Amino acid sequence: MTDFAKQLTATPTPIPGLVVFDLPVHGDARGWFKENWQREKMLPLGLPDFGPVQNNISFNDQVGTTRGIHAEPWDKWVSVATGRIFGAWVDLREGPTFGVVFTTELDPSRAIFVPRGVGNSYQTLEPDTAYTYLVNDHWSPEAEYSFLNLADETAGIPWPIPLDEVEMSAKDLGHPRLSDVVRVTPKKILVLGAGGQLGRALRSELGEAPHIEYATRAELDITRADLAEVRRWRDYDTIVNASAFTAVDAAETPDGRLHAWAANAAGPAALARIASAHGITLVHVSSDYVFDGTLDRPYTEADAISPLGVYGQSKAAGDVAVTTTPRHYIVRTSWVIGDGRNFIRTMVDLARRGIDPRVVNDQTGRLTFTEDLAAGINHLLATRAPYGTYNLTGAGDTQTWADIARRVFELTGTDPGRVTGVTTGEYFAGASTPVAPRPRNSVLDLARIRASGFEPRLATELLEQYLGDVRVV
């Protein structure tokens, strides 16, 4: 009999993500009423904002009708409109809880959230039972499913009515035992720009699990017109956009301006539309160039953007586009150093060749090493930190480019006095090609990323590690 005295509560189960909800049901002589799914009230209790797109009802006219065990590639909100069921759920996801079983009864006053990959089954305990479920994806013949036999001995589900006495489909009778089940893998993670410095660091950080994909620009260009059709995006959980047009001076040319706006603004906007449509988390890497560098303190995530040149303007436009998708992380960084051509390698090369460089001494910031940046991105995803913008650079004292150049010379056994500091204006005086304006202050405040539980490493220590045993003399 339906309980009319319950308060709205949520109770976790031994299966991660599988949560039972008690629902208030209001009744009188005419019948009853309940709020079957109420986003505003249920989210604070821990219900994921799973974005249902379809509502299904399975009507069963006989006691003992048994269905399952099916694991689909989407989340479900399961409830009973009328009648009563014995429900059994088995974790068929790859991982340490594979095979864990949970059973309970559901009537109109109880519902359950079933996450993707958890096998769902039930047996009716009353005639004329209507079993309902909201799902956050549309059925597709291309979707990957997993099944478990209702009579599996390992699961040992205590069906109230013996299975040899109930109505079941031939298909359900033919499902495999637990030892032969195809385990449900996590939804996919796609790393874009995998051929760049950060992309290579992300590959090292995230690894080569089957559900993680890496795509270079040649393999998947985010500026292509048919981007929304080139993947079955509903199968993806996260997109990490490590691709960008980063040639700041070339961006000031007519051709470069087109490429910068396409890669840094239009591309991220297209990714944001895809992420919004499919409930995907979008990670987007931003830049200190979205600021004009005029503040006399570190820039926080809340500071207004005010880019100076085309590169910064295109990156700022991309940031704004990404903020339109609910599940996003904008990771703003500066002075990135990784595996590839960069300022540090240039300084080492100049030292080896006996060239005494003139290096800018009126731009201030901190180096960011790609291994630290990749670790910070992984931290945000793994801990499910609150969505939004995070500054992430190396930690420690701020430096100018000239300071860093002198330290490189010193660490490689070269006289740091060979480095001459000059102003930005002096450095670019007489340039024959367009020069992008640079922010003088590129120092980013790291309080928010630290509050999330990630501690950026000291840029000076990472520089020493990066150079390792490199010696010029």
How does the average pLDDT of the chain come out, rounded? 95
Catalytic residues: 70, 133
- Sorted by sequence, the CB contacts under 8 Å of residue 78 that are 6+ apart come out as 87, 106, 111, 112, 113, 114, 120, 131, 132, 133
Residues with Cβ < 8 Å from 45, sequence gap 6 or more? 8, 9, 10, 21
Domains 9-180 and 188-467 share a fold: no
**Tokens representing 335?**
């002075």
Residue pLDDT, tens place only, 2-35: 666 789 999 999 999 999 999 999 988 888 899 9
Q: Please give the average pLDDT of every successive group of 10 residues along the chain, which has 473 residues.
A: 78 97 91 93 93 94 94 95 97 96 97 97 96 90 89 96 91 93 94 96 96 96 95 94 96 97 98 95 98 97 97 98 97 95 94 95 97 98 96 97 96 95 94 93 98 97 89 69
The span from the CA of 287 to the CA of 403, in Å, is 21
CATH class of 9-180: mainly beta
Question: Exposed, middle or buried by CB within 10 Å (0-12, 13-18, 19+), for 384?
Answer: exposed
Q: Where exactly are the structural domains of the chain? A: 9-180, 188-467
In whole angstroms, what is the distance from residue 107 CA to residue 430 CA? 80
What stretch of H or E contains 80?
A: strand 76-82
- What is the spatial distance between Cα 258 and Cα 130, in angstroms, rounded to a whole number? 57
User: Was domain 188-467 assigned CATH 3.30.1600.10?
Assistant: no
pLDDT at 129: 96
**What is the pLDDT, as a whole number, of residue 142?**
77
pLDDT at 3: 63
